[in-house]
Structure 1
């Protein structure tokens, strides 16, 4: 019971600029909600205290609205948060949350449904991805990405196609950073390696790129190939991404389910565990990691 009465603390959430503003904003938003719950303050009263609507406060508490230092200070005062260390850490996180995302210069090329994933994946400790149709976006070459984008958006201007492709390649940089980079476990259908996207030359260079990445990122990238013969693979027709973060008490697991021109995000613990089990099953039927290189080399000979 004593632990239940303890005031929530943000001190265990570190200041990590490399995690991106989205993670800092989300962690701070959840902390504000916990502080309000702990203080027993109704959302209507809290919203009125800063001259905002309840819907605005709700968006602040879910990380969907900008967090202003003045509003935060007023809310902390209302909630009885006076500890100097807590307030200093919150001020740092507010500042970090206001910084531009790494993908911000290409924001116009990012589909709205993809932006929450772009904002949170740099803070992940581990990413598990399943892709049944294409090479995962993080691992695509420029020409492969442009071919895929043109097929989905045949009327898009050439510049837009180029910028969408650049955005996909930009996402891989988080695996190359020196400080706590995420680990990416990517599982894809074996038919992806035989499904022609563009010319045979495009496919050849894409497969070679995967081989090069396995050499460059032996610890951060793990690629598994699921055979078409495995029945469980064919039953899942859409991409799944599961994110697990360094600080689960502030950032719960996130599941991203991609659909045509849209996506569903789920952070419910039961859903997260269910999709994690699905991905673990896919890993179980996929080839062993040590066989991936030989499978890619076989695909390389196929496209030669």
Structure 2
């Protein structure tokens, strides 16, 4: 057996769900029966055992104790659950296409109640107009010239359609959204001046939704931590970081907590008084349009 072992003889690098599944099967207890004993559905136990969902420490303790594991081994298994997946891993590396990435994101978003997004350079995806999104994705297609990322103009169109479909979640009143952007997001010109004016209008529109909070870090703010990159927090269970060619995700509790602290610290230097900045950059792009005529 590979890896070091704990006192129960299990490899310490073995997934917690696998250990629990083996314990259950060794006692010949059906998943449904175990679920009835501990107040969980059979489906939840199955997902936990197969690793489809992260093993929550409280659930691990409940199941391990019900399965008769000695107290010290219960504690060890819970500790392993607490430290599981404290790393970044490729998000579904088989899905590198633009449209597939959008559909993956939508699956994550529909299962999330509280959405927190920080973007230091580009407009967050859920706030983008179709033309802004097309400009972003067309640049990836043209500049990267990587068939795995964007194999054709058709792929870009499909991805834009998928991204616009994602925006429907903003209309669900039981979901909460906090968008945290920098002034550079408005200044960075992704597309034509007319498209940037339309994009600013879209930001205004969404910022008025009752379930949306938009905060902006002004240029003269003192950063509590350097804004290395943007990220998306899905509840407090998952963090996603976009890269040029793929996305990275972590469900590790320590990593998610760290990103939540980063988000909260940046949010404290941001303002909800975004209208002056939106007005200023709308005027800026309008002047560019006039000068081009």
TM-score interval (norm. to shorter)? 0.5 to 0.7
The 5 A counterparts of 1:26-41 are 33=17, 37=20, 40-41=23-24
Distance 1:157 1:116 in 2: 20
Query: How far has the Cα of 1:40 moved from its partner?
Result: 2.1
Query: Structure 2 stretches of 5 or more lacking a match?
Result: 1-14, 48-94, 146-150, 287-293
Query: How far has the Cα of 1:191 moved from its partner?
Result: 1.1
Residue 297 of structure 1 corresponds to which residue in structure 2? 279
Q: TM-score, structure 1 length as denominator? A: 0.61
* Corresponding position: 1:284 with 2:268: yes
CA 233–139 in structure 1, closer or farther in 2 if over 3 Å, else same:
farther
The 5 A counterparts of 1:55-134 are 77=30, 80-81=33-34, 83=36, 90=43, 109-111=98-100, 116-134=104-122
Larger CA deviation: 78-87 vs 265-274: 78-87
Residue 199 of structure 1 corresponds to which residue in structure 2? 192
Match of 1:212 among 205, 217, 233: 205
Distance 2:154 2:222 in 1: 40
CA 227–82 in structure 1, closer or farther in 2 if over 3 Å, else same:
closer
Query: How far has the Cα of 1:211 moved from its partner?
Result: 0.9
Residue 22 of structure 1 corresponds to which residue in structure 2? none
Query: How far has the Cα of 1:202 moved from its partner?
Result: 0.7
Q: What SS class does the counterpart of residue 37 from structure 1 fall into?
A: helix
Residue 214 of structure 2 corresponds to which residue in structure 1? 223
Q: What SS class does the counterpart of residue 260 from structure 1 fall into?
A: coil
Contact 2:99-2:155 at 8 Å conserved across structures: no
Q: What SS class does the counterpart of residue 124 from structure 1 fall into?
A: coil
Query: How far has the Cα of 1:229 moved from its partner?
Result: 3.2
Contact 2:32-2:42 at 8 Å conserved across structures: no
The 5 A counterparts of 1:3-22 are none
Number of residue equivalences: 217
Contact 1:132-1:239 at 8 Å conserved across structures: yes
| CA deviation map 1:47-106 (0-9, x unaligned) | xxxxxxxxxxxxxxxxxxxxxxxxxxxx97268537499797739x99xxxxxxxxxxx9
Residue 274 of structure 1 corresponds to which residue in structure 2? 258
CA 295–88 in structure 1, closer or farther in 2 if over 3 Å, else same:
same
* Between structures 1 and 2, the one with greater helix share: 1
| CA deviation map 1:157-190 (0-9, x unaligned) | 3222111111211111112135x3x211111110
Residue 159 of structure 2 corresponds to which residue in structure 1? 164
The 5 A counterparts of 1:243-262 are 243-244=234-235, 253-262=237-246
Contact 1:145-1:165 at 8 Å conserved across structures: yes
Q: TM-score, structure 2 length as denominator? A: 0.63
Contact 1:228-1:234 at 8 Å conserved across structures: no
Query: How far has the Cα of 1:149 moved from its partner?
Result: 0.7
Match of 2:223 among 223, 232, 248: 232
Contact 1:238-1:259 at 8 Å conserved across structures: no
Residue 241 of structure 1 corresponds to which residue in structure 2? 232
Larger Rg: 1 or 2? 2
CA 279–189 in structure 1, closer or farther in 2 if over 3 Å, else same:
same
The CA RMSD over aligned residues, in Å, is: 3.6
